[in-house]
């Protein structure tokens, strides 16, 4: 099935470092979303982006909706241990509830 191209697949960083991950698509999406999934749980919505070029923050998280509507990035500043998990980008088209997901970025933090 269709998936977004998400990179990197995994990251190993030191506590306090900044993190950046991105997602690209060959087709346009009207909404970009970023989710975090902890082991044994479902994805939790972190940030939703509704307009091309939009830059949105949620605490230490910042995400942007690319101008072309084919990409998005997520930045995490000053990482802390509870940031560990798998981060997914997802795209959604106008009028459809279906989410198309990236493969995920697994974030590991060394204390």
Q: Which range in 19-27, 53-61, 67-75, 96-104 contacts another protein by CB under 8 A? A: 96-104
Token pair 């997914």: residue = 88
Map residue 83 onto helix, strand or coil: helix
Beta bridge pairs of residue 13: 109
Applying CB under 8 A, among 14, 81, 98, 110 the residue interacting with another protein is 98
- Copy the structure tokens of residue 96: 């459809």
**44 contacts another protein (rule: CB under 8 A):** yes
At closest approach, how far in Å is the CB of 33 from another protein? 8
At closest approach, how far in Å is the CB of 57 from another protein? 16
1 Cβ contact list (under 8 Å, min separation 6): none
At closest approach, how far in Å is the CB of 103 from another protein? 5
Applying CB under 8 A, among 22, 25, 31, 72 the residue interacting with another protein is 31
Containing H/E element for 62? Answer: strand 61-65
Applying CB under 8 A, among 13, 48, 52, 84 the residue interacting with another protein is 48
Instruction: Find the Cα–Cα–Cα–Cα dihedral 96, 101, 3, 70, rounded to 10°.
Output: 70
**50 contacts another protein (rule: CB under 8 A):** yes
């Amino acid at each position: 099935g269709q998936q977004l191209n998400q990179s990197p697949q995994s990251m190993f960083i030191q506590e306090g470092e900044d993190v950046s991950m991105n997602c690209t698509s060959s087709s346009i999406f009207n909404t970009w979303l970023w989710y975090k999934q902890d082991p044994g749980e479902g994805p939790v919505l972190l940030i939703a982006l509704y307009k091309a070029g939009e830059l949105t923050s949620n605490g230490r998280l910042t995400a942007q909706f690319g101008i072309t509507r084919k990409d998005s990035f997520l930045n995490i500043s000053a990482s802390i241990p509870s940031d560990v998990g798998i981060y997914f980008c997802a795209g959604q088209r106008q009028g459809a509830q279906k989410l198309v997901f990236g493969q995920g970025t697994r974030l590991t933090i060394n204390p």
